[in-house]
């Protein structure tokens, strides 16, 4: 290839690169320079007047000194940015707890840096996707703080959602939303996910001091993930699941709630991994009529009057590698025909009654646990608990017996490789 040819190819390449960047900058210029900025109250007197004048892609800046703004804001255009500016957040104020403070019916909308108060519902996203609600104070509304209804792929981030009469955040029939780093306190209920809402993520939220549950997942809501939330000091359960399945809970702190830390009712195939569930008033983790769940690597300590982990009429669950210590009643209970569960490799120490207690529960595997220093028996099986396998556990220093089997009717329980000092019958201990 000659010098002339290489030079021509180089010039062609440079021309193509220049044309590419010119095209990109032209597109960006069209997007940016066609977008106009409207300032309230400098350009217009109200937020809705600014929205009426705005076109898709415009930015509306709202100053605090023009408020409070007594209006119900309705956003029915795509790609609108509604941003409060100034040293203080502008106030969007309702009257007599009526109406919706900010209604979003289109997509790619940003609402940022406002105080929204005294409405029935502060912010409602309806049938709308890809919106962001960011850094707002949502307080003192009659019903919900933020309602996401039949809407997907929205982000609610960094908001302070306080003292609303119903839910702080409600997701209904809504999927793939992210609820992140919000402070949610003093509401009737912190976060409610219902109506078959799926694949939502809640991470890094502080959910504290709500009157009822901190976080509740209901009505066949599926495949939601809760990670790294602090759920504390709520008036009922910290986290409640009812009729929900295949949700994942990782490294949440669920402490000091007035009833249970985590409660499941008729809920299946959920996973709880690495959560801290301490100092709740009754049970740490309660499963009622809930099957095939996994509790792995959690800490359930010092729950005041109840048990660390309590299963009632719940089958096929795996309880593995948990620390269950210092609870007011027993450490781990399987009760009322909780069958075919696996209780594996747990530390169950210093609980107020029994360490591991099987009451009318059958065909469970109790293996590799340490059940020491409990106030009654380390591992206790009642007379109506049959066909259980109790293998390779260690039980020492319990105030009554280390291991006790009260069942004398077939199918008998099987004991292999357990190490303890005192048992009944005495042949259990090696």
Q: What stretch of H or E contains 9?
A: helix 3-34
137, pLDDT greater than 60: yes
Stretch 165-189: mean pLDDT: 98
Considering the segment(s) 38-231 as one domain, its CATH architecture is 3 Solenoid (2.160)
pLDDT (0 to 100) of residue 3 = 52
Domain coordinates in residue numbering, the chain: 38-231, 259-430
**31 confidence band (pLDDT: 50, 70, 90):** very low
Determine the Cα–Cα distance for residues 64 and 67; give it in Å rounded to an integer. Answer: 6
Structure tokens at 38: 């409207």
Strand duo 230-232 + 253-255: pairing = parallel
pLDDT (0 to 100) of residue 280 = 98
pLDDT tens digits, residue range 256-289? 999 999 999 999 999 999 999 999 999 999 999 9
Same fold, 38-231 and 259-430: yes
CATH 2.160.20.10 fits 259-430, yes or no: yes
Q: Which residues contact 143 (CB under 8 A, 6 or more apart)?
A: 97, 120, 121, 164, 165, 166, 167
Stretch 113-125: mean pLDDT: 98
Enter the DSSP assignment of 413.
P
**22 confidence band (pLDDT: 50, 70, 90):** very low
Average pLDDT in the chain: 93
Identify whether the C-beta of residue 73 lies closer than 8 Å to the C-beta of residue 45.
Answer: no
- Kindly report the CA angle at 369 between 363 and 374, in degrees rounded to 5? 105
Enter the DSSP assignment of 96.
T
If we measure between CA atoms, which residue out of 119, 235, 125, 249 comes closest to residue 175? 125
**35 confidence band (pLDDT: 50, 70, 90):** confident
27, pLDDT greater than 60: no
Q: What stretch of H or E contains 172?
A: strand 167-172
Stretch 293-313: mean pLDDT: 98
168, pLDDT greater than 90: yes
Identify whether the C-beta of residue 131 lies closer than 8 Å to the C-beta of residue 108.
Answer: yes
If we measure between CA atoms, which residue out of 228, 221, 259, 214 comes closest to residue 243? 221
In this prediction, what percent of the chain has a pLDDT beyond 90? 90
Stretch 147-173: mean pLDDT: 98
| CA distances to 44, 197, 317, 343, 400 from 390, in Å | 76, 40, 16, 10, 19
- Measure the CA dihedral 91/159/129/224, to 10°: -150
Determine the Cα–Cα distance for residues 103 and 76; give it in Å rounded to an integer. Answer: 8
pLDDT (0 to 100) of residue 430 = 87
pLDDT tens digits, residue range 215-241? 999 999 999 999 999 999 999 999 999
Place of tokens 């004991």: 415
Determine the Cα–Cα distance for residues 156 and 230; give it in Å rounded to an integer. Answer: 17
Distance of CA 66 to the CA centre of its chain: 38
pLDDT (0 to 100) of residue 173 = 97
Stretch 98-124: mean pLDDT: 97
pLDDT (0 to 100) of residue 28 = 39
Identify whether the C-beta of residue 40 lies closer than 8 Å to the C-beta of residue 60.
Answer: yes
Is the entire prediction scored with pTM above 0.85? Answer: yes
**11 confidence band (pLDDT: 50, 70, 90):** low
pLDDT tens digits, residue range 383-395? 999 999 999 999 9
């Amino acid at each position: 290839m000659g010098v002339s040819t290489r030079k021509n190819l180089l010039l062609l390449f440079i021309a193509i690169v220049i044309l590419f960047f010119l095209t990109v900058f032209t597109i960006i210029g069209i997007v940016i320079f066609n977008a106009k900025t409207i300032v309230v109250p400098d350009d217009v007197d109200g937020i809705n007047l600014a929205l009426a004048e705005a076109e898709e892609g415009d930015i509306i800046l709202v100053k605090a000194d023009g408020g409070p703004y007594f209006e119900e804001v309705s956003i029915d255009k795509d790609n609108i940015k509604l941003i409060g500016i100034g040293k203080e957040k502008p106030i969007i104020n309702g009257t007599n707890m009526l109406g919706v403070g900010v209604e979003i019916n289109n997509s790619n909308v940003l609402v940022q840096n406002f105080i929204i108060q005294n409405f029935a519902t502060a912010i409602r996203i309806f049938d709308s996707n890809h919106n962001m609600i960011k850094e707002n104070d949502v307080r003192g509304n009659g019903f919900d703080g933020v309602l996401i209804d039949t809407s997907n792929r929205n982000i609610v981030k960094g908001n302070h959602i306080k003292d609303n009469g119903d839910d702080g955040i409600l997701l209904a029939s809504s999927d793939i939303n992210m609820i992140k780093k919000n402070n949610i306190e003093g509401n009737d209920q912190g976060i409610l996910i219902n109506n078959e809402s799926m694949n939502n993520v809640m991470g890094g939220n502080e959910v504290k001091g709500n009157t009822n549950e901190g976080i509740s997942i209901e009505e066949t809501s599926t495949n939601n993930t809760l990670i790294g939330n602090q759920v504390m000091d709520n008036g009922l359960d910290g986290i409640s699941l009812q009729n929900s399945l295949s949700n994942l809970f990782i490294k949440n702190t669920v402490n000091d709630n007035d009833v249970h830390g985590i409660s499941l009712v008729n809920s299946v195939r959920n996973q709880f991994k690495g959560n801290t569930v301490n100092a709740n008033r009754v049970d740490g983790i309660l499963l009622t009529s809930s099957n095939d769940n996994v509790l792995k690597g959690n800490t359930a300590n010092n729950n005041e009057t109840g048990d660390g982990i309590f299963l009632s009429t719940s089958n096929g669950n795996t309880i593995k590698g948990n620390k269950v210590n210092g609870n007011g009643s027993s450490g781990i209970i399987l009760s009322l025909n909780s069958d075919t569960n696996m209780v594996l490799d747990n530390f169950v120490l210093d609980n107020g009654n029994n360490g591991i207690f099987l009451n009318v529960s059958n065909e469970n595997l109790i293996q590799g646990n340490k059940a020491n220093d409990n106030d009654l028996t380390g591992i206790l099986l009642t007379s109506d608990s049959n066909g259980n396998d109790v293998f390779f556990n260690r039980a020492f220093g319990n105030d009554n017996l280390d291991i006790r089997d009260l069942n004398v009717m077939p199918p008998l329980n099987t004991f292999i490789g357990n190490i303890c000092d005192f048992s009944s019958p005495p042949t259990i201990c090696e």
